[in-house]
Every structure is written in structure tokens, then in C-alpha cells.
Structure 1
């Protein structure tokens, strides 16, 4: 009889562990995505600064470089 009473608790523990691990994976994906986003933003700013230093002013969409 003790095995039948411990089975539901074990099942719940595995279910809880699985849910926790899925939450951890989701959290890691969110962190990874935000890191990539920040990295792309920083690169974009760096490229914009380089363009500004080369062409001597802020870039606008309508400007033509000749």
C-alpha cells in the first residue's frame, strides 16, 4: 500500500520539475533574445556614428550622397 500513496506525489514532483525546467528554458530564450537585440542595437548605433563621422552629419532617408 505505501507504493500507491507515494505514486501521486512522485508524479506531481515530476510534473512540477518539468514545468520548472520549461520555465527556465523560456527564461533563457528571453534573455538570449534580449542580448541579441541589444547587440544589434549597439552595432546599429556604431555604424550610424561611423557614417556620421564620414559624411559629417545626421543621416536622413531623403539625402542623396553624390
Structure 2
């Protein structure tokens, strides 16, 4: 069993470990959120580009048919 003089140091170590763990979790969540945001932006640009290409192709196909 730890002596009373070692309790404060042990408490501070656990407090630091807990704080570091929370900081790591926060950082990981921030990175994941950034990745998801970039992925959604890239998908949005891709969908927009495909939509524009389809809209540009429709008049060309109509001209070819007439």
C-alpha cells in the first residue's frame, strides 16, 4: 500500500495521463472530422462536375437527333 506522501504524486500522474488521453482523443476526433469534411467536399465537387457534364451533353444529343 502506498505511503501517504506518495498519494499526491500518484494523483498528479493519473491526472496528467487522463488529460493527455483526452487531448489525444480530441485530436483524433478533430482529424477524423477534417477527413470527413474533405471527403464530403471532394464528393460534392465530383457530383457537381458529373451534373455539369450531363447538362452539357443533353443539348448536344438533342442537336444530333434533329
TM more than 0.5: yes
Residue 34 of structure 2: aligned partner: 34
C-alpha RMSD of the superposition: 1.1
Greater relative CO, 1 or 2 (CA 8 Å, sep 6+) = 1
Say whether residues 1:51 and 2:51 are aligned partners. Answer: yes
Q: Which of the pair is proportionally richer in helix?
A: 2
Gaps of 5+ in 1: 57-66
TM-score, length of structure 1 as denominator length: 0.78
Which stretches of structure 1, 4 residues or more, deviate above 4 A after TM superposition?
none
1:7-40: CA deviations, max 9, x gaps? 1100000000000000011111101111110000
Pair member with larger Rg = 2
